Structure 1
């Protein structure tokens, strides 16, 4: 019976999700008397980020690690980003603000900005963060402790995502769902196999040696999903990378409007799938069967008074609840899982349409094909 098979599949997904999360380490408490002799350079590209500058700098000023330097790059902003940076960064020590060079042909804007930042970094570690990132005071100590424990060349993690708009509540938390559901984290964090890779570009901490050996962001100059591709490159040179649960220490307010959510996800999904139509078809069937179908089945079960048809929705919610609790997501969004899956599929198909029709992907006033 199909309903029984669906219940078995969802039960296996519950078990898989529960086990898989165990291989994503949280940022630990820093080791006692952690030396501060290693310099960490924090590198931030900014383009039209006036709404984030003040809160970003306030967050960075509160960091407790002693040996920090900062480089900010204003990437041809048309708002007050640069003036706000100049005014509010005075409390930071070892700070440099640079203006980005014109975007060369064949480069993605953010990648080119990060490339320029990497050239100005002076530390033993390079931490690339986005302007919408907020760090807890001891984040650097925690990250260095985990890097040293795991002996990795790159540490990344998906932040906690506060959400405000209805589309962000549906789509943004699905980043955690996709990783914990589809990526075997034992393989991702315990091997150097490039196929098992995920990263989040808003929080990327490299050792200087690793960043330089991999060729920096120049290696992935044309990538719209540079975070994943540079992590694969790290593994290809024999270095380990760690995808950590950083949600206790790193927060990201990704989008403020539904339009930004739609454009941001449309830019990343199809390129992130390797522009693979078969993979799009598989994910469509999988998400419709596992996360969407349980809702009408439960409604049918309520009408007919059959608990058997309600169980799939309960299991779907349980999968999502495990992930949301683990990643400190906003309360009760797990109840929206069927609608979140539909929204993700809709965005995926729009992203595929843009890619196949050659219309390109637009972000921050630039268009990429």
Structure 2
């Protein structure tokens, strides 16, 4: 098993990630320093474990998304039969890698991804308003049954923790096949489905957790860069999604006194958040009170998705 970590300016996050990785039964742990400017390489070199190796990243070729280029280089350097790509914002508890291996085999998955338990930590409401939408989208809107049917467009994966058997990765063409896709995980999943490979999914629970963003502004930028691709790269679909969420979760509260149906719709929106938090183990049930204003707080995310360029990690992509 090879654990592969693309890292660009992750000196602050790696001290939380690496101890958990070193507690796993991985045969090798490769961290690629993607031309960082913050001492990422020094953090990696501070750990003395023969399995841990720092790989200096090569300059990014034209047309490549930075993360995809980093993952491509990691795969070239890896020797394992199971390639586990892990983002620097993920934290693995003891037993996580064994659980991933067991569940991938149980589901007979060629490509297997984990949706970490999403953590929020800033004192403001920004993260708590938007980050839980990741879980709600996964649990309330993804048609899971279609993943077992011959519908190639029905595909889901999470690049935060994404594992491939070597043969499957080669068949897909690796990250090179999706080198220009900002939402590379979904693109890889769809390509895998088209090639007849099986996808596997799991919730991270207590074993795999992540804190993706630090505040509201960063959350808007992070979700916004991915939202367009997740909506078929279509402006009309993006706008329809925004209108649906405002109508389904905000308007019922404004119409509370206009009939029983509106009150039922309002309460169901709260129930959805409570159930999603329970399923993922997040708890934080008081977040349900934020549901009516969450679609309004998400409007800047949709506005970001409508732009023709995305900025992330100091790079600009079309």
Out of 65, 68, 76, which is 1:111 matched to? Answer: 68
After superposition, the CA RMSD in angstroms is: 1.6
SS at match of 1:212: helix
Match in the other structure for 2:120:
163
Aligned to 1:183: 142
Matched, 1:75 2:24: no
Specify the alignment match of 2:19 in structure 1.
58
Q: CA deviation at 1:272?
A: 2.2
CA distance in 2, matches of 1:43, 1:328: 26
Structure 2 residue aligned with 1:45: 6
Mapped partners of 1:222, 1:308: distance in 2: 46
Give the match's secondary structure for 1:310: helix
**1:343 shift after superposition:** 2.2
Q: Alignment partner for residue 96 of structure 1, among 38, 43, 53?
A: 53
* Structure of larger gyration radius: 1
Matched, 1:174 2:133: yes
Q: Which moved more, 1:325-334 or 1:105-114?
A: 325-334
**Counterpart position of 2:217:** 259
Q: Which residue of 2 aligns with 1:343?
A: 297
| CA distance in 1: counterparts of 2:243 and 2:316, whole angstroms | 31
Correspondence for 2:179? 221
Structure-2 residue corresponding to 1:318: 271
Q: Could you tell me how far 1:282 is from its partner in structure 2?
A: 2.4
Question: Shift of the alpha carbon at 1:157?
Answer: 2.2
Counterpart CA distance in 2 for 1:281 and 1:262 is 16
* Deviation of the 1:330 alpha carbon: 4.3
Q: How far does the alpha carbon of each residue in 1:162-211 deviate from its partner, in whole angstroms, 9 at most, with x for none?
A: 112321111111011112222111112x2352211121111001111101
SS at match of 2:102: helix
Structure-2 residue corresponding to 1:368: 317
Distance 1:202 1:308 in 2: 39
TM-score normalised to structure 1 length: 0.82
Could you report, residue by residue, the CA deviation over 1:110-144 in whole angstroms, capped at 9, with x for unpaired residues? 00000000111111100000011111111111111
Report the Cα offset of residue 312 of structure 1: 2.2
Q: Tell whether the 8 Å contact from 2:20 to 2:91 is kept in structure 1 after alignment.
A: yes
Residue ranges of structure 1 left out of the alignment (5+ in a row): 1-39
Partners of 2:108 and 2:200 within 8 A in 1? no
Counterpart CA distance in 2 for 1:364 and 1:243 is 27
**How many Å separate the matches in 2 of 1:104 and 1:152?**
32
Say whether 1:237 aligns with 2:186.
no
DSSP 3-state at the match of 1:50: coil
The counterpart of 1:277, out of the listed 235, 242, 258, is: 235
For residues 261 and 210 of structure 2, the distance between their equivalents in structure 1, rounded to whole angstroms, comes to 40
8 Å Cα contact 1:45-1:72 kept in structure 2: yes
State the secondary structure of the residue aligned to 1:222: coil
Tell me, what secondary structure is at the counterpart of 2:117? coil
Instruction: Name structure 2 gaps, 5 residues minimum.
Output: none
Q: Are 2:242 and 2:302, in contact at CA under 8 Å, matched by a contact in 1?
A: no
CA contact (8 A) 1:162 1:330 kept: no
| Structure 1: distance between partners of 2:212 and 2:243 | 28
- Of 160, 170, 182, which residue of structure 2 is paired with 1:212? 170
Q: CA deviation at 1:68?
A: 2.1
Picking from 123, 136, 145, the partner of 2:102 is 145
Q: Offset at 1:223? A: 0.3
Does the 8 Å contact 2:139/2:276 carry over to 1? yes
Q: Which moved more, 1:330-339 or 1:126-135?
A: 330-339
- Displacement, 1:247? 2.6
- Contact kept in structure 1, 2:220 and 2:300, CA below 8 Å: no
Query: Under a length normalisation based on structure 2, what TM-score does the superposition of the two structures give?
Result: 0.94
